Structure 1
Amino acid sequence: MVNRKALDPETSPAQAFGQRLRQARDERGWTQDELAVRMGLTGSHVSAVETGRRPPTNRFARSADRALGTGDKFERMTRALKNTSLLEGFTDFVTHEVRAVEIRLFELGIVPGLLQTPEYAAAITTGAVRRGAITEQQAEERLTLLTKRQASLERTPPPLVYVVLDESCIRRVVGGPRVMAEQLDRLAAFAELPSTVVQVAPFDLGERRSFDLPVTLVALPDRSHMAYAESAQQGRLERDMRFVQPLLTAYHQLQAEALSQAASVAMIEKVRKGTP
């Protein structure tokens, strides 16, 4: 079939669900529209779920099971998807992040995942396990996905990555002095890459800091933009430019207020000297 989107079930639970749905549909020789009619939905809705652009709901899964005669196969997959440690909207976002041509990050408190060393990332997830926030299996899920996300930065050509770190990201010690020292070295090395810009938003920026929560903005190959932001309880992927454009503007304002890359690297190295 021409222009059929390839699905990678290892990328996210949503892509795994979509691959199984496509396989079951193909086995019956149905088009997406034909399946949609049997489910009482639109073909565009089925297409969005099948390609991982829209997460499946319990209602969608039950309708798919009835239409395809698969018992409770898809409903069980949806329950497993809901039980993931990843916030709602994040797995959907990752499918876009791995093909973005530009990525803009702002983070508070911890170094963004894309820039974390394995030891730093492991310390973060270990802390969550000890608090009972996630299970060991869920911690492994997070680390596996992080490795794949970081690998996507090494594609050719690489995406342009702009990073603004609140000063708390480099001051907060995670994993002990050695792990933190290696993480700061990683930040300094990342700043030297030709496709990256790393800046620090110092504490004295005060009310001039544009964001109070972490935010990620991506530009896709077709030059469309989307934003992902999250709180402790949920994540939200925004595609509507009426809402994305103000975030882009705020990000550019933040970049103008933050330290230059040279001054930022100097601050990171100064903090690094205070660690073994």
Structure 2
Amino acid sequence: MNRKDLNPDEGPVAAFGVRLRGAREGRGWTQEHLADLMGYSSQHISAMETGRKPPTLRSSLSADTVFGLAGTTASFERAYIEIKRGALLEGFPEYLSREGQAAEIRFFESGLIPGPLQTREYAQELANSAVQRGDITPEQAVDRVEFLIERQAALVRTPPPLIFVVLDESCIRRPIGGPAVMDAQLARLIEFAEQPSTALQIAPFSMGARQPFIRLVHLLTLPDRSLMSYVESQTQGHLDRELTSVLPLVRNYHQLQIEAASQAESVAMINQARKGTP
């Protein structure tokens, strides 16, 4: 595709390229200069501008930093998420834009390992199952896994966010994929627990009714110390910034951390699961 042929109506990837080129030329910058600012080669920028290379989460975030659009409705990140949202639950794209900025992130999950801690193979098994059920297309399955890997990469930054994770015991007991897939996934949890900016706990079945959550809950603390929550049903997600409804979730999460197994005890439980012992 050459410059004369560039047409935003050809699709969202082309529209992204038109926007990127327009923003660059509006500043009077060359592709080489933008490439230096974004940390890419000029060939990569050219390919993005002409739609030959689709944007990634990393490149979108980089463009937002360069053009001062981070967190705005006109951000490149938002445009990127729109490209990918066919493989995502409604409500989740808006949450992702905040997760990438958060100073502290708290996850609770029941039944499945949360996305930021999943191995590629574990994520692929989940995506393949969704295809078999007819929930998504094979193309969306590929997008879902690649998007997850990019999401994980966006959490690797300096300084790193503090990430607290509490998993229902079902997460480590429910087999996903074959033994090798599950063993590698459990090993990944142990690696996560060993990082200096993370904490991992298991909420054992014995907590019973004392466990306050029954489905996914994400809590974010942004750099300005504002709070927001994200919860999911089977078909949609909900992002909430109202303190009157977010603070009860925060209190419940803190209570969950008090009652859950310690990190040392949790790692021991994970190792037991790897050996197939109760």
TM-score category (smaller protein): 0.7 to 0.9
Sort the Cα spacing of 1:256 and 1:180 in 2 relative to 1 into closer, same or farther, 3 A.
same
- Aligned residue for 1:89? 91
- The answer to whether residue 131 in structure 2 is matched with residue 129 in structure 1 is yes
- The within-5 A match list for 1:69-80 is none
Shift of 1:242: 1.4
Distance in 1 (CA, whole Å) between partners of 2:85 and 2:95 is 18
- The within-5 A match list for 1:21-170 is 49-51=73-75, 84-170=86-172
Shift of 1:159: 0.7
Instruction: Return the TM-score normalized by structure 1.
Output: 0.72
Distance in 2 (CA, whole Å) between partners of 1:82 and 1:192 is 32
Q: What is the one-letter code of the residue matched to 1:273?
A: K
- Aligned residue for 2:48? none
Q: What is the one-letter code of the residue matched to 2:143?
A: E
Identity across aligned pairs (percent)?
Answer: 54
- Aligned residue for 2:208? 206
3-state DSSP of counterpart to 2:94? helix
Shift of 1:22: 11
Sort the Cα spacing of 1:196 and 1:83 in 2 relative to 1 into closer, same or farther, 3 A.
closer
3-state DSSP of counterpart to 1:50? coil
Distance in 2 (CA, whole Å) between partners of 1:260 and 1:272 is 18
3-state DSSP of counterpart to 1:216? strand
Shift of 1:257: 0.9
- The within-5 A match list for 1:232-247 is 232-247=234-249
Q: What is the one-letter code of the residue matched to 2:250?
A: L
8 A contact 2:119–2:185 mirrored in 1: yes
Structure 2, unpaired ranges of 5+: 1-11, 27-70
Distance in 1 (CA, whole Å) between partners of 2:159 and 2:131 is 37
Instruction: Return the TM-score normalized by structure 2.
Output: 0.72
Query: Which of 192, 196, 199 is matched with 1:197 structurally?
Result: 199
Distance in 2 (CA, whole Å) between partners of 1:83 and 1:260 is 37
Question: Deviation per CA, 1:140-167, whole angstroms, max 9, x where unpaired?
Answer: 1211211111112221111111000000
Structure 1, unpaired ranges of 5+: 1-12, 28-46, 57-76
- The within-5 A match list for 1:255-270 is 255-270=257-272
Size of the aligned set, in residue pairs, is 219
Q: What is the one-letter code of the residue matched to 1:155?
A: R
Question: Deviation per CA, 1:102-125, whole angstroms, max 9, x where unpaired?
Answer: 110000111000000111111110
8 A contact 1:52–1:92 mirrored in 2: no
- Aligned residue for 1:219? 221
Distance in 1 (CA, whole Å) between partners of 2:228 and 2:85 is 25
Distance in 1 (CA, whole Å) between partners of 2:120 and 2:177 is 11
Shift of 1:52: 7.5
3-state DSSP of counterpart to 2:73? helix
8 A contact 2:167–2:201 mirrored in 1: yes
Distance in 2 (CA, whole Å) between partners of 1:157 and 1:48 is 22
Distance in 2 (CA, whole Å) between partners of 1:109 and 1:141 is 23
Shift of 1:176: 1.0
Shift of 1:51: 3.6
Sort the Cα spacing of 1:48 and 1:159 in 2 relative to 1 into closer, same or farther, 3 A.
closer
3-state DSSP of counterpart to 2:238? strand
Moved over 3 A (4+): 19-24, 80-83
Distance in 2 (CA, whole Å) between partners of 1:122 and 1:233 is 20
Answer with 163-172 or 148-157: which moved more.
148-157
Shift of 1:241: 1.3
